[in-house]
Structure formats: structure tokens, C-alpha cells
Amino acid sequence: YQIEIDEFANCFATNDFKEGTTAFLEKRKAEFTGS
């Protein structure tokens, strides 16, 4: 259970997560890079 929580938290640190969130807020299509 703890591993799942830790890995889920790691997703929030990725550039793709930031891009997805920013694109959503700006109402545009996200441009994911895989990082």
C-alpha cells in the first residue's frame, strides 16, 4: 500500500503532469513529452 502511495506521488513531479494540468487550466490541448 505504501509503495502505491509513494509512486502515485512521484507522478505529480513529472513534467507531463505539470503540462497536463496547465493545459487543462488554459483550455488547450496538452503537449506531452514523456517526461
Structure confidence at residue 1 (pLDDT): 86
**DSSP string over 1-35:** -HHHHHHHHHHTTSHHHHHHHHHHHTTS-------
What pLDDT, on the 0 to 100 scale, is given for residue 35? 76
pLDDT digits (tens, 9 = 90+) for 1-35: 899 998 988 888 899 999 999 999 999 999 999 87
Determine the structural domain holding residue 19 and report its residue range.
1-35
Give the C-alpha separation, 7 to 5, whole Å: 6
Specify the pLDDT at position 23: 97
pTM (predicted TM-score): 0.69
Q: What pLDDT score was predicted for residue 24?
A: 97
How many domains, in total, are found in the chain?
Answer: 1
CATH of the domain at 8: 1.10.12.10
